[in-house]
Amino acid sequence: MFIVMLAALVIPIMMARFKITSVPTAVAEIVVGIILGQSGLNLVHQTDTLTLLSDLGVILLMFLSGMEIDFGLFKPGSNDEQATASPVRLASVAFAGVLAMAALLSYALKVAGLFSDPLLATILFSTVALGVVIATLKEKEILSKPMGQTILLTAVLGEIVPMFGLTVYASINGGNASQLWLLVLLLLAAIFLLYRFKQPFIWFNKVTKATTQLDIRLAFFLIFTLVIIAEQVGAETILGGFLAGMVMKLLEPHESTAEKLTSIGYGFFIPIFFIMTGVKLNLRELFANPAALVLIPILMACFFLAKLVPILVYRRRFSTRNAIAGGFLTATTITLVLPTLAVARGLHVISSSQSDAFILAAVLVCVLAPTLFNSVYRLSKEDLLKQRVVLVGANMLTIPIAQQLSKEWYDVHVVTTQQTNYETYDSEVDNLTFLPEITTATMQAAGLLDVDIFVASYLDDQANFDHAHVALEAGVPRIIAFQNNRAVDNDRVDHLIGEGVEIFNAFNVQTSVLRALIESPSVMGMLTDTEAGLYEVRVVNHRFTGRQLMELPFIDKITVSRIRRRNHWITPHGSTILEYNDRLIFTGKRDDVAEIRRQLRKQN
């Protein structure tokens, strides 16, 4: 146990020391496990304790994979250039092709006499390592972009579908085919737990404290409940863990909850699982078996060939180069291959040498695939877009804003219901749309509600409030409504604020700026200066969390004035320790700000 924990500590340290970034940590842990296990130095052996911790590790890995799913991505975007090119549709067609190609390759192996179980091979060839894909897309900073969403959804299907396929396969080969209908009970249990804890979870977040950690206790309760039910109905434990992760995600936990669960999983249990996977590999026996040895390059080729179809599908929307890169990344497979082979060995439908050949092929593919993706992929224009913004109202205020934001890689659309304004400003901005009226139907038909920021900017307050409600009904993440008249229905304003709408009160802004100009003349210079300005950034890069402000490598280039933390303002000092999701308000030169913001909001 000590050797395993020492290895878990040293592996990421050595990878950071020698700047090994193209190889996933999980693959490095498996390789080290091979060195420490029966294939190498024979220092680590299977024990009941290590086996238990390893089993918990794979369950937690599936749980965290379930938590990684963004269910909002399954809603097709209405702003796609073509309905057939939406991320959901592309991913669905791509994975259907993966399944077909995997089945074809599996039967080819059976005909060639290399592997006799085509159903098991189909499951293995169709899997995609969701965790590795997410980590790679985050590193490339395209997870929320169209290409990233398409690859992510393909990976989600590549984890969910094979997992259910494995459950059906295990039931059939385990003699429990007649009990397959009991899987409905597992799904019903997951739905019941979701609705049972939906409201209490909001209360948990308010009363939890350091000595109770109710959110974490609930997470483990969900895991063990659904894992036990899965075992009782004849399903695999990993399916129970995965469903528990999906339930936890739908409960909408705070970012800190997800961070703590990730720390528990990847900090302790999951490394043990990967290291013990390598320990259990018997490469001596594998290399002594010529038939199994020949199988390794063939299996590697099958893992890649099964993902040829996504390349053809991705080309319908993205460049050929990036489509090829996306195909390489979807070939990444390791997380579900390991538990699938463990189930197959338990059912005695695969020999140990064949299992080891599959694992070694998956490890090699997991090393090559992300490396090929990183070397082939090139950022496109839509990858550089920061956010999609819709400005409802074309006037002297919104047109200059649209022009300025467009220069900074924002995707800006301006909408007007005034024909004269449309004719006046059509040549001033790239994306100006005329609509006879602003309703949910007309905005959806124009593809203008699938955006990040919606700004109701008419000079008519009543129209702005009505338009804000249209955006609320569509679920737009951020809504800003102009308030021009001081004599307004305060109850309605309070209602919009309660719904999360941000009110831009022109009178308050003018008086605040005038007062600042009188009291602090330099403030106006700072706000209007083209070289220096006031900026905000949300800290999501774990490399900078837990560190004092004075320790930031670029602190000499900025001045942090305030920190927004969990809806409270903090006055910063050099010794102030940054936390995940802090919002820094700072000043700095425009040339330095772009790189500093990029580093701080880089998800990893």
pLDDT band, residue 487 (cuts 50/70/90): low
Instruction: For 361-390, write each residue's pLDDT tens digit.
Output: 988 998 899 889 988 988 776 666 667 899
Tokens matching residue 119 = 């159903």
pLDDT score of 531: 57
Q: Is the pLDDT of residue 2 over 70?
A: yes
CA–centroid distance for 221 within its chain: 24
Over 497-514, what HEC string results? HHCCCEEEEHHHHHHHHH
Q: Name the nearest CA neighbour of 356 among 301, 304, 293, 298.
A: 293
pLDDT digits (tens, 9 = 90+) for 291-337: 788 899 999 999 999 999 999 999 988 899 999 999 999 998 887 88
DSSP for 211-275, please give it. Answer: TT-HHHHHHHHHHHHHHHHHHHTT--HHHHHHHHHHHHHHT---HHHHHHHHHHIIIIIHHHHHH
Domain 385-514 has CATH 3.40.50.300: no
DSSP 267: I
**pLDDT-based confidence at residue 183 (cuts at 50, 70, 90):** confident
Residue 479 pairs in a beta bridge with 454
Which tokens is 516 given?
Answer: 């600042």
Other C-beta atoms closer than 10 Å to the C-beta of 289 total 17
28/251 Cα distance (integer angstroms): 33
User: What is the Cα–Cα distance from 40 to 483, expressed in whole angstroms?
Assistant: 71
Question: Mean pLDDT across the chain, nearest whole number?
Answer: 84
Residue 78's pLDDT is 44
Higher per-residue confidence, 497 vs 36: 36
201-235 per-residue burial string, b: 16 or more CB within 10 A, e: under 16: beebbeebeeeeebbeebbeebbebbbebbeebbb
Q: In the predicted model, what is the mean pLDDT of residues 280-286?
A: 83
% of residues, the chain, pLDDT over 90: 27
Q: Please state whether 357 falls in left (phi above 0), alpha (psi between -120 and 50) or beta.
A: alpha
What pLDDT score was predicted for residue 218?
92
Q: What is the mean pLDDT of residues 51-73?
A: 85
For residue 87, give the nearest of 147, 142, 44 by alpha carbon. 147
pLDDT exceeds 50 at position 79: no
Q: Give tens-digit pLDDT for 221-245.
A: 999 999 999 888 877 788 899 899 9
CA 432, CA 440: separation in Å to the nearest integer? Answer: 18
Average pLDDT (51-67) is: 90
Q: How far is CA 85 from the centre of its chain?
A: 21
* The pLDDT of residue 94 is above 80: yes
Q: Mind listing the pLDDT tens digit for each residue in 130-169?
A: 878 877 887 777 877 788 889 988 998 998 899 888 888 8
Q: Is 409 left (phi over 0), alpha (psi -120 to 50) or beta?
A: left
- The DSSP 8-state label assigned to residue 225 in this structure reads H
CA distance 425 to 418: 11
Residue 205, pLDDT > 50, answer: yes
Q: Which two tokens stand for residue 479?
A: 């809504």
Most confident of 10-14, 342-346, 425-429, 511-515: 10-14
Instruction: Give 334's DSSP letter.
Output: -
The domain limits of the chain are: 2-178+270-379, 385-514, 529-600
pLDDT at res. 527: 61
Pick 529-600's CATH classification: 3.30.1360.200, 3.40.1390.10, 3.20.20.70, 3.30.70.1450.
Answer: 3.30.70.1450
Query: What element of type H or E holds 257?
Result: helix 255-264
Lowest mean pLDDT among 43-47, 245-249, 500-504: 500-504
Asked if the model's pLDDT at residue 194 lies above 50, the reply is yes
- Could you say which of 3.30.420.40, 3.20.20.70, 1.20.1530.20, 3.30.70.600 is the CATH number of the domain covering 2-178+270-379? 1.20.1530.20
Confidence (pLDDT) at 411: 83
Output the six-digit token pair for 420: 């004269």
Residue 486: the pLDDT is: 64
- Whether residue 81 is predicted with pLDDT greater than 70 in this model: the reply is no
Task: Kindly tell me if the per-residue pLDDT of 112 is higher than 80.
Answer: yes
Q: What is the pLDDT of residue 300?
A: 94
Over 90: is that where the pLDDT of 61 sits?
no
pTM of the predicted structure, to 2 decimals: 0.70
* Topology match between the domains 385-514 and 529-600: no
Question: Rounded distance, CA 145 to CA 385, Å?
Answer: 8
The sign one gets for the Cα dihedral 468, 472, 475, 477 is positive
Number of other CB atoms surrounding residue 546 within 10 Å: 11
